[in-house]
Structure formats: C-alpha cells, structure tokens
Amino acid sequence: MTIIVLTNCPSGLRGFLTRWLMEISPGVFIGSPSTRIREALWTEVQQYANTGRALMAHTTNNEQGFTFATHDHKWHPLDHEGLTLIHRPKDTPKVAATPPPSGWSNASKRRRYRKN
C-alpha cells in the first residue's frame, strides 16, 4: 500500500499520479503499485513539486510495518535504532514588536479609584 500526500503542487502532477494511484481527497493518493513504479513516481514527484510539499508512506517489512519519505517538509524522518521517528524543529518564540506599556493598566487604575 502506498500513500502520497501533496500540498501546494501543480495540478499536472496530480493528474500524472492518477495514472497509477486513486485520488481519495484533493492531494491524497492511495494505491498498491510495484516497488519499481513507486520509486519512479516518487522521483517524478520530487522533480515536479516545485515549491510544494510531498509526503509518501508505504508498507515495508520492518518493526513499524511502514516507512515514509518527505520532500520540502519542515519535519524530517530520523532513524533511531531501527525505528523511523519524526524530527520536528523547535519553534522560535515570537518577539513582540512593541514592548507593553509601563505602569498600571486602565482597569487597575479604575479599581483603585473606586475603592477610595
């Protein structure tokens, strides 16, 4: 079983994949091609994806029962003692463009004056 997921790829590539795989949702293709065809499809996807992203998962004879490959994704597969894990880069904290105003907030000023 092979699954290919395309994001922001040309429609011609989607049409090319429908020759061997079934498109069950926009950009999601599934099928059971041979290993030779699967590798040829993945080569074409990498070549014609342009600025888009692609992910391919397929069954294999390993501990997890599947393996996957990515093209232009932020997350990358990482082999760890025979298991394929996903390496996600850390998100950098966003720095505020302007610092918060100093002093008391308007709500706290109102509360303080009501008590007196």
Across the chain, what does the average pLDDT equal?
Answer: 86
Name the pLDDT band for 102 (thresholds 50, 70, 90): low
- What's this model's pTM, rounded to 2 decimal places? 0.73
Per-residue pLDDT at 101: 62
SS3 112: helix
The whole-number average pLDDT for the span 31-41 is 95
Other beta carbons within 10 Å of 30:
15
The whole-number average pLDDT for the span 50-67 is 91
